[in-house]
Amino acid sequence: MNLDLTPSPRPHGAQRMISATVLVTEAFVVFFAALVAHQLVPDDRALTWTWALLTVLALVLCSGMLKRGAWPYWLGLALQLPVLLLGLQVTAMWVVGAGFAALYTYGIFKGHQLDAEKDEVDAQVLAARAAESDGGAS
């Protein structure tokens, strides 16, 4: 498996779109899980809200930084851990967090593969057009 996550230079590549979508959706789910935990664990409300709001903020900020290189993708992977650990307060988050971790992981690697294939096709098309225009000019 190729662990190079350097994003494609294209502004709206599949890797960035899939990853950002998963992270922002996950932020909403974490917020709603905090609302559930607010009722389920009334003794830990301060911890619940601090944990959840910091995780939501980190997920949204990470989704906006995905164009800055490979490190935000790795940060997004690391942010799956606090989402999973929300399962300590809301049991369903063990399953939901694992699902989001799988979606995010699949999205960054499959999106990277799709962007690389698209970049390769674009390069071939541009080379063919350049050869066409050179052949027509002679």
Tens of pLDDT, residue by residue over 75-125, are 999 999 999 999 999 999 999 999 999 999 999 999 988 988 898 888 899
Asked if the model's pLDDT at residue 1 lies above 70, the reply is no
Q: Is the pLDDT of residue 34 over 60?
A: yes
pLDDT category, 44, cuts 50, 70, 90?
A: confident
CA distance 131 to 23: 42
* Mean pLDDT in residue range 27-45: 93
What confidence tens digit (pLDDT) does each residue in 19-30 have? 999 999 999 999
Distance CA 26, CA 19 (A): 10
Using 50, 70 and 90 to split pLDDT, how confident is the model at 137? low
| Tokens representing residue 30 in the block | 């974490």
Predicted pLDDT of residue 37:
92
Q: How many other C-beta atoms can be found within 10 angstroms of the C-beta atom of residue 12?
A: 7
> Distance between CA 41 and CA 51 in Å, rounded?
13
- In angstroms, the Cα distances linking 63 to 9, 16, 56, 88, 125 are 16, 8, 11, 25, 31
CA distances from residue 81 to 36, 101, 117 in whole angstroms, order as listed: 19, 8, 31
